[in-house]
Chains A and B, each alone.
Chain A
């Protein structure tokens, strides 16, 4: 199965990169879009394991290293292979 982890900045944390992108978008005429935020996505693959075990392991990874919980939120999604 595939584990997709999305990491995003918490509300209230300054995102200068997002702000710069918003300015560029607005220069291109996309004026209505506000509060542009940048995040990152981490994808992991694993064979033959219980879905809830995988979720727990991914959660531990986020807590221990993948996310900086002072400034970031994370969301874990597990996609089973077809």
Chain B
């Protein structure tokens, strides 16, 4: 299993993601610098969270035009898998590898807290094969621009094609305001047409140890990687 984590100036969840991937695969993932133009064949590229290029212009806008993106596009066209978390999700959208837009949180607050995610009934995807639709995962969010927005027709298409991976869901502890950012249809993560690119706002790498208060992030990452190998 060959994994890699991309690093842009301002990425700040790269090391946490590296720890998580090493815990699962037993090997250090490759670190890809945003200026890298040569990339070996990989099974999974993770674009981690952070504030790439200081969130200048729009979140992810400058990172989505960095040299490494061309390699990520080649990797995807070869059928490679990509996971974008938080700023990584924003970068995938800015690079037009996923549809829609991530705009300012509805309440204008940077939101950092646990969320409950409900796994949706999706197209075949390594990121959801291991889960039953309706299964719940506790994974935290930490963002200011995670409010997923798209035209009605795109949202309809995503719903109908089974390309919504996760939705925010109410839980026993949180009946109101379970959607942390005002995302349309409570969308927390979406898949590409071939199911091999996932963008999600919640941070699985922040729920990999009981010290974190939960390990559902590890379960999600491990299951995804097992299905990528499988």
Task: State the A residues within 8 Å of B (CB).
Answer: 13-14, 16-17, 20, 64-66, 68, 70-71
Interface residues in B103-122 (C-beta closer than 8 Å to A): 103-108
Q: Is the CB of A17 within 8 A of B108?
A: yes
User: Is the Cβ of B101 less than 8 Å from the Cβ of A14?
Assistant: no
| Pair B182/A14 contact, Cβ less than 8 Å | yes
Question: B57, B61, B101, B106: which contacts A71 (Cβ < 8 A)?
Answer: B101
Query: Which residues of B from 29 to 72 have beta carbons under 8 Å from A?
Result: 57-58, 61-62, 65
Size category of the B interface is 20 to 34
A-B contact count (CB 8 A): 35
> Chain B at the A interface: mostly helix, strand, loop or mixed?
loop
Contact of A14 among B58, B62, B65, B147 (CB under 8 A): B147
Q: Please state if A16 and B61 are interface contacts (CB–CB under 8 Å).
A: no
Q: Which residue of B lies closest to A40 (CB)?
A: B57
Q: Does B149 interact with chain A (Cβ within 8 Å)? A: yes
The complex places the Cα of A74 from the Cα of B168 at a distance, in Å, of 33
| Residue in B65, B103, B107 whose Cβ sees the most chain A Cβ within 10 Å | B103
